[in-house]
């Protein structure tokens, strides 16, 4: 409900820390990641946001599940700082691709404001949504990492966040 910094450059919008809960959920478990991603999508829907934003949020299920599955099923040991940054980048690219698909459908159907269609596909969609989502995702991931990983030292949370 609290959005400290929000930047809207349609068709893109970026709210600092908006993905932090999804990333923290990824550190906990695949099930938690799925529930949180679905919950945030439902929240956008109930909140009356435009359908393009609701559908963009729904794509978070993909990167959240992939990321959580990797952290809990594939990574056999704690990730080094370098591997954690690489993981963040890969997750960010998956995140951006999902949002690019949704926004591209709306762009090519003409459902995006005519003023933004004039900027062209490369600026409006690839740069603002695609590259913007990668950067935004990596910043939010780092915020989540800084919050979640120290929590491993507390006993109840340590059982949840064991491999990260």
Contact 75, 91 (CB under 8 A): no
Which residue in the block uniquely carries the two structure tokens 């999508």? 41
Say which DSSP state 153 is in.
G
The listed range with the strongest mean pLDDT (11-15, 38-42, 127-131) is 38-42
Q: What is the pTM of this model?
A: 0.83
Q: What is the DSSP string of 3-55?
A: -S-EEEETTEEEETTTTHHHHHHHHH-HHHHHHHHHHHHHHHHHTT--HHHHH
- 98 sits in which H/E element: helix 81-108
What is the domain partition of the chain in residue ranges? 18-160
User: pLDDT by residue (tens digit) across 47-65?
Assistant: 888 898 899 999 999 999 9
């Amino acid at each position: 409900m609290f959005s400290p910094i929000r930047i809207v450059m349609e068709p893109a919008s970026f709210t600092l820390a908006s993905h932090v809960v999804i990333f923290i959920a990824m550190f906990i478990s695949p099930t938690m990641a799925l529930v949180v991603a679905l919950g945030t999508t439902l929240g956008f829907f109930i909140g009356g946001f435009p359908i393009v934003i609701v559908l963009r949020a729904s794509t978070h299920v993909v990167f959240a599940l992939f990321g959580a599955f990797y952290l809990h099923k594939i990574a056999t040991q704690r990730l080094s700082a370098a591997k954690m940054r690489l993981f963040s980048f890969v997750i960010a690219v998956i995140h951006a691709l999902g949002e690019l698909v949704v926004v591209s459908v709306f762009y090519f159907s003409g459902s995006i404001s005519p003023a933004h269609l004039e900027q062209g596909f490369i600026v409006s969609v690839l740069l603002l949504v695609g590259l913007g989502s990668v950067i935004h995702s990596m910043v939010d991931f780092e915020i989540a990492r800084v919050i979640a990983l120290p929590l491993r030292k507390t006993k109840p949370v340590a059982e949840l966040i064991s491999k990260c």
